[in-house]
Amino acid sequence: MATGRSMPRYQEWQAHVEPITFKRIYLNPLRLAQAIGYVTPLRQTYVRFIHFETPLSIVQQPVAVGRGFWVSWSEAMQVEQVEHNSTVFSSHLANLLYYLNGWTLPHENVELSLGISGTSCGLDWPVSLRVGFYRHLPKIDFIKKFRHTQGGVNEWKLTPTTCCMIASLFPSLRSINWCLEEEPPRNYITRAEVRNTFAAALVWVPSSVRSFTLAYYYCWMRAFGDFSVDPQSRAPDLLSIALRQLSKRLEKVVLSMDIGHEFFIGNDSSAEETDWLRMREVTVIAGSRTPQEDALFNFDDETQSAIPIPGMVNPYYLAAGRAAAGMPNLSFLTIHWALCFNTALFYVVRKDTLGARLFVTGT
């Protein structure tokens, strides 16, 4: 039993420790039920970071045939698994948001990180937020940063559209950091459809966002085989164009993905634009191919290095230069290539008493 002398010491210890203990909290459906009791209104003021992990599982395990082989999943099993994943994820997300909506003393700047746990047995069926749940979800004003990082080849994946829908529930959101898996380049038509769907979903991103980081990659383990490319189809990449439109209200953008030079020049390459008024930092880490599956580099077997194809790479540099001219508050703009480390482009702006000077360095 605590004495009258020890109570003040305990309270003093508690006042120092709890702001550290509750600064970052890690929840799952089980811990969420427990958090209702121990994350008191006072402790809510200490929270700056929330990670919520949704566990998913295989509804029906495939039957082993022979030694290490599995029977193919039937269409009915696929539908059942996708419906199960979407329902479970949507239900747990709704519980989290309703819980956060009941906070009485939240800090005004909290980061939310969403994850999914559980093996998918290598299946790449997507996990989506069900529209029926979304329509009734509350909006949370104190979430200012939203992060989602997908795991490896054997983990479930949220669709980009779902990430955009969730972001729309945070009207005061300032920063987004997503690491998503793209459709591998086995079929250009299918990949283009997925990218176009992502492009359309970016309209859900709140207008309050000022920093946008996106790593959008495909797993090389799923990219084996011949690429199916339609040589007659060279339509502009709608995802690159949509990211361009989004970036016009940003201060910082970091993109690591297969991206087209449409990100810099838009639909009309002759148009001069100066409406990147807020942009300060631009970092693009491009892949080795365009979104239309055209190679940007040749591989030299003798030197074991990637050699840029001038006719393919130079349009990126020229478009970036034109875009930089339309960014009056720009500090730096860089273009790197994921599989080629011996070439890059840097635009660095320095200001002195004589005005602004633009230094360009290419290596």
93-143 residue pLDDT tens: 999 999 999 999 888 899 999 999 877 666 667 889 998 899 999 999 999
State whether 288 and 202 are in the same domain. yes
The domain containing residue 112 runs over which residues?
20-63+70-181
Encode 316-353: b = buried (16+ Cβ within 10 Å), e = exposed. bbebbebbbebbeebbebbbebeebeebebebebeeee
The per-residue pLDDT for 39 is 93
189 plus 294 within the same structural domain: yes
Query: Of 120, 151, 181, which residue constitutes the final position of a domain?
Result: 181
Looking at the structure, tell me whether residues 309 and 204 fall in a common domain.
yes
Pair (113, 210) in one structural domain: no
- Domain assignment present for residue 363? The answer is yes
- Higher-confidence residue: 211 or 14? 211
91 is a domain residue: yes
Task: Please write the tens of the pLDDT for every residue from 329-362.
Answer: 899 899 988 777 667 788 787 665 444 445 555 5
In sequence order, the 6+-apart residues with CB closer than 8 A to the CB of 229 are 188, 292, 293
**Same domain, yes or no, for 142 and 289?**
no
d(CA 321, CA 324): 5
Q: Per the domain annotation, does 15 fall within a domain?
A: no
pTM, rounded to two decimals: 0.87
186 lies in a domain?
yes
Using the structure block, give the residue that is written with the tokens 């006072």.
Answer: 42
Average pLDDT over residues 304-327: 86
pLDDT of the residue at 43 = 93
Looking at 132, 159, 181, which one is the last position of a domain?
Answer: 181
Looking at every residue in the chain, the average pLDDT score rounds to 82
Residue 7 lies inside a defined structural domain of this protein: no
What pLDDT was estimated at residue 226?
A: 45
> In the chain, what percentage of residues exceed pLDDT 70?
77
Assess whether 177 and 187 both reside in one domain: no
Judge whether 9 lies within some domain: no
**pLDDT level of residue 304 (50, 70, 90 thresholds):** confident
Confidence of residue 71 (pLDDT cuts 50, 70, 90): very low
